Structure 1
């Protein structure tokens, strides 16, 4: 420091840890102009310039660009405004980096090929709204023109993949599988058949809703039979079938007869595609929900027992 309290550029570099070249650049661009120059042309800086340079260092360490730093120093924008905008930008960058990390972890764990890796990366870049639109397009194509069960359609439209900002490998894998499943032509055709069947039943006066309680009754009864090792073609199975068909007759206000059993069989056959259950299981994995109970073996046993009882 000189006798008049001014710092040479070298002393300023030692104080701040910056290189002389960097300080000279900041001076030349007007961010930290020198206070004066010696007769020999050497730059000198006062305490205000030192404080200004330290602010520049802080803002640069926080990731602000030189233009943003200049706007703060020149009072064109408040530090709070610039900090808020920069924080928002960092949030976006952090989300992007987390998604990239998730893709890389999944690739490392599964050994995916380049095509699947590109698909994962593309799908993870979708916003929440874009993910919702992907499901909406699938539902419009499969349920859009059919007068299907409105409660089911509303449930499907409200249940969309909601990836966390830092998804796990399992969530990434499930999201890729779900996206591929919704684009599968055979699956779409199967869902359209389900929608058409529901529309047919509604045209015949069925407005009974989603039947959660009935499904749970079937699941509990058949699960108990499966746990007991009851074969579908045994008297014990026939008793389970009789109990369940009586419940169907009550829910749908129909006689408990052979026609009802044939109607139940058709209903089970229409809903038998295992990909429909897989759709819900994938959604649960993506959204971090408890896994839904496995119904495929339940309905397979119930179908076999119904056929045997007939």
Structure 2
């Protein structure tokens, strides 16, 4: 029978029985400070008021949803804390679901591959957390970019070059991320600089000027990529070359374009990066990688420079990357 007045108190056993809980549960929440006692009996036994029942029911409901005890304490202490606690729990569940989807796709990747490839795939996948962390990719770009680049430029580059792993990946995307993670985690060979020629101070380029110009060139190339046009000369390519020429303080000339084609082809690492990130991206617009590749191919086509044979990407690569991204976005 419920108490008639606030002075009527329940023992810990009576409160547990009314709430459908065990005495051990009530004692645990009391000891945690979530269920304060109204008083103690003459013999030192706990006594609880009527409000303890509602509080205990709320605590148990939140624990059913796996809301952490510290968050429950804030909900009980602060009037508006429930919304934040629910939002936090939803974020936690989203992370767990993403991790499970990555694990499922990784298991399918192992299950569906030939037996002789399983050891390699397990090794690659074993280096990646679930859900995946892009810290190594950001570190690669910070190492790739020249020192003392303005923070604004670095932030913009990272925003456009570090892909956001999909929440529900395919097995192929798990493999692409694992390969990408392994690629960016490798140390530079002793005879190969970690940075391309345009990023090294001794070559005369001004990287801050270069990246501002490249951003404009990528924007100009986007309509051609969306329309699936073959890489070709035009304002986008002129802006692309001008970015390099201006940052070097050199005139844009046929000789400079030949030189630039050779320089960009001399280090294929960034092209490999773009290929792998294209497998992960689901863009609604061309990525920086696809734009860079399209402009590289346009330059090579114009000067008759290296394409497949000297570290280049080969004609049509940019269009294939852009089409693949649009198909995944559809």
TM-score normalised by L of structure 1: 0.53
Q: How many pairs align? A: 271
Between the aligned partners of 2:92 and 2:237, the Cα distance in structure 1 is: 51
Match of 1:306 in 2: 303
More helix by share: 1
Cα drift, residue 51 of structure 1: 3.7
Q: Does residue 200 of structure 2 align to residue 199 of structure 1? A: yes
Cα drift, residue 83 of structure 1: 8.0
Contact 1:268 1:303 in 2 (8 A): no
Q: Does residue 269 of structure 2 align to residue 262 of structure 1? A: no
Q: Does residue 54 of structure 2 align to residue 54 of structure 1? A: yes
Q: Does residue 95 of structure 2 align to residue 99 of structure 1? A: yes
Match of 1:169 in 2: 168
Contact 2:138 2:158 in 1 (8 A): yes
Match of 2:131 in 1: 124
Cα drift, residue 56 of structure 1: 2.0
Cα drift, residue 53 of structure 1: 2.6
Between the aligned partners of 1:279 and 1:262, the Cα distance in structure 2 is: 27
- Per-residue CA deviations over 1:162-213 (Å, capped at 9, x if unaligned) read 869xx6123984765553332134699978341x344368527898533345
Aligned residue runs from structure 1 range 243-282, under 5 A: 248=241, 252=245, 254=251, 256-257=253-254, 259-270=255-266, 273-278=270-275, 281=278
Contact 1:96 1:125 in 2 (8 A): no
Match of 1:16 in 2: 18
Cα drift, residue 102 of structure 1: 1.1
Q: Structure 2: which 5+ runs fail to align? A: 111-121, 306-330
Between the aligned partners of 1:224 and 1:79, the Cα distance in structure 2 is: 57
Match of 2:157 in 1: 156
Q: Does residue 186 of structure 2 align to residue 179 of structure 1? A: no
Cα pair distance change 1:24/1:261, threshold 3 Å: closer
Larger RCO: 1 or 2 (CA < 8 Å, sep 6+): 1
Cα drift, residue 101 of structure 1: 1.6
Q: Does residue 287 of structure 2 align to residue 292 of structure 1? A: yes
Cα drift, residue 263 of structure 1: 1.6
Aligned residue runs from structure 1 range 64-103, under 5 A: 79-81=76-78, 84=81, 94-103=90-99
* Matching residue within 139, 142, 145 for 2:144: 142
Cα pair distance change 1:87/1:7, threshold 3 Å: same
Cα pair distance change 1:152/1:176, threshold 3 Å: farther
Q: Structure 1: which 5+ runs fail to align? A: 38-42
Cα pair distance change 1:21/1:176, threshold 3 Å: same
Structure with max Cα Rg: 1
- Per-residue CA deviations over 1:56-85 (Å, capped at 9, x if unaligned) read 22223223889999xx8xxxx99324984x
Contact 1:254 1:260 in 2 (8 A): yes
Match of 1:40 in 2: none
Cα root mean square deviation, aligned = 6.1
Between the aligned partners of 1:216 and 1:59, the Cα distance in structure 2 is: 53
Between the aligned partners of 2:199 and 2:96, the Cα distance in structure 1 is: 42
Match of 2:116 in 1: none
TM-score normalised by L of structure 2: 0.51
Contact 1:142 1:192 in 2 (8 A): yes
Contact 2:180 2:277 in 1 (8 A): no
SS across alignment from 2:20:
coil
Between the aligned partners of 1:270 and 1:68, the Cα distance in structure 2 is: 55
Contact 2:125 2:178 in 1 (8 A): no
Match of 2:326 in 1: none
